[in-house]
Amino acid sequence: MTLSPMPARFMAVALAEAAAAARRHEVPVGAVIVAPDGKIIAQNGNRCVELSDPTAHAEFLVMRQAASQLSCTYLDQCDLYVTLEPCALCAAAIGLFRIRRVYFGAYDPKGGAIEHGARIFSHPAAHWQPEIYGGLQETDCAALLRNFFHARR
């Protein structure tokens, strides 16, 4: 998928967060929240190991940080960039925080819950439907994960 310059720029920041997570021995996933004016208001990587918290996924952390920073309950004017297809927890949180657009990198047939598994936004009762763009810089995002798991085998 060819990206316009802005999404490519934000995915580059998410990728840098993913690479930083790998250096902390965390599964390399990174995420960014962007406000409507194009400013990054939160960026982070996985911190499950550091925080001993299995819910400390990159995208969940940035949504919480952004809501807290904007003193907003909802993030319906904000976009999320994340290097991996969100899991069910994060996809459900995307719905609860009412994220406007989700851009994700690698597809995750095993743990993903947007295009796979629980398909959180595909049920009639889903109360929020973000715009979703998958497969952005998929090769780079997937390579980070592959190299990380390859090195631990």
Candidate residues 47, 119, 135, 143; the one interacting with a copy of itself per rule CB under 8 A = 119
From 19-27, 31-39, 110-118, 138-146, give the range in contact with a copy of itself by CB under 8 A. Answer: 110-118
> How far apart are alpha carbons 127 and 20 in whole angstroms?
34
From 24-32, 34-42, 85-93, 138-146, give the range in contact with a copy of itself by CB under 8 A. Answer: 85-93
Q: How far is the CB of 121 from a copy of itself (least distance, A)?
A: 9
In the complex with a copy of itself, the residue whose CB is nearer, 88 or 143, is 88
Amino acid code (one letter) for 121 = F
> How far apart are alpha carbons 10 and 25 in whole angstroms?
23
In the complex with a copy of itself, the residue whose CB is nearer, 13 or 89, is 89
DSSP codes joined into one string, 38-99: S-EEEEEE--HHHHT-TT--HHHHHHHHHHHHHT-S--TT-EEEEEE---HHHHHHHHHHT-
Name every residue whose Cβ is closer than 8 Å to that of residue 127 and which is 6 or more positions away in sequence.
95
Candidate residues 10, 81, 97, 148; the one interacting with a copy of itself per rule CB under 8 A = 97
Candidate residues 120, 132, 141, 144; the one interacting with a copy of itself per rule CB under 8 A = 120
- Count how many residues are written for the chain: 153
Site for a copy of itself, rule CB under 8 A: 52-55, 64, 67, 71-74, 87-89, 91-93, 95-98, 109-111, 113, 116-120, 123, 125-127
